[in-house]
Amino acid sequence: MVHNVKLNVFPAVKGSRVSKYLYSQFIEHIGRCVYPGIWVGKNSRIDNYEGIRKDVVSALKKLKIPVIRWPGGCFADTYHWMDGVGVPEKRPARYNHWWNQPENNAFGTDEFMKFCGLIESKPYLACNLATGSIKESCDWVEYCNSTQKTEITRMRIENGHEEPYNVQFWGIGNENWGCGGNFVPEYYADNYRRFATFIRKTLGEQGRLIACGANVDDLEWNERVLAAMRKRTRLMDYLSIHVYHRRYFWKVQPERGNCNDLDFTEQDYYNMIASVGWMEEFIQSSIGLVTAYSHYGHQIGIILDEWGTWYKNAVNENGMYQQNTLMDAIYTAASFHTFHHCGEKLFMTNMAQAINVLQALILTKGDRMVTTPTYHIFEMFMPHRDNTNIATVVDNNPELILPHGKSTEMLSISSTFNESRGELHVSVVNQSLDTNIEADIDICDGKKWVIVNMRRLTSDDIHDHNTFDEPEKVFPMDLGVDNPVLNRVSFPSKSVTTITFKCTKK
Catalytic residues: 175, 306
Residue 62's nearest CA partner among 118, 3, 128 is 118
CB of 155 to ligand AHR, least distance (A): 28
Q: How far apart are the first and last CA of the chain?
A: 38
**β-bridge mates for residue 39, sequence order:** 52
CB of 180 to ligand AHR, least distance (A): 8
Torsion sign over Cα 245, 216, 280, 405: positive
Q: CA–CA distance from 277 to each of 201, 412, 432 (Å)?
A: 39, 11, 15
Minimum CB distance to ligand AHR smaller for 332 or for 416? 332
305 touching ligand AHR, by CB under 6 A: no
Among 103, 111, 139, 306, binds ligand AHR (CB under 6 A): 306
CB of 177 to ligand AHR, least distance (A): 10
Binding pattern for the stretch 150-169 against ligand AHR, x by CB under 6 A and - elsewhere? --------------------
Interface positions, 102-121, toward ligand AHR (CB under 6 A)? none
28 touching ligand AHR, by CB under 6 A: yes
Torsion sign over Cα 178, 182, 186, 188: negative
Q: Residue number with the shortest CB distance to ligand AHR? A: 73
Helical axes 134-145 vs 185-203, angle rounded to 10°: 30
Minimum CB distance to ligand AHR smaller for 283 or for 413? 283
d(CA 269, CA 403): 10
On whether the CB atoms of residues 136 and 107 are closer than 8 A, the answer is no
CB of 305 to ligand AHR, least distance (A): 9
Residue 179's nearest CA partner among 32, 286, 76 is 76
**CB neighbourhood size of 475 (10 A):** 12
Minimum CB distance to ligand AHR smaller for 111 or for 175? 175
Among 48, 109, 174, 495, binds ligand AHR (CB under 6 A): 174
72 touching ligand AHR, by CB under 6 A: yes
Minimum CB distance to ligand AHR smaller for 275 or for 415? 275
Cis peptide before 71, with omega less than 30 degrees from 0? yes
Helical axes 266-293 vs 219-228, angle rounded to 10°: 20
On whether the CB atoms of residues 359 and 352 are closer than 8 A, the answer is yes
Site size toward ligand AHR (CB under 6 A) is 10
From 66-74, 204-212, 247-255, 360-368, give the range in contact with ligand AHR by CB under 6 A. Answer: 66-74
303 touching ligand AHR, by CB under 6 A: no
Q: What is the CA radius of gyration of the chain?
A: 23
Minimum CB distance to ligand AHR smaller for 145 or for 174? 174
77 touching ligand AHR, by CB under 6 A: no
Interface positions, 330-369, toward ligand AHR (CB under 6 A)? 352-353, 358
State the residues that interact with ligand AHR by CB under 6 A: 28, 72-74, 174-175, 306, 352-353, 358
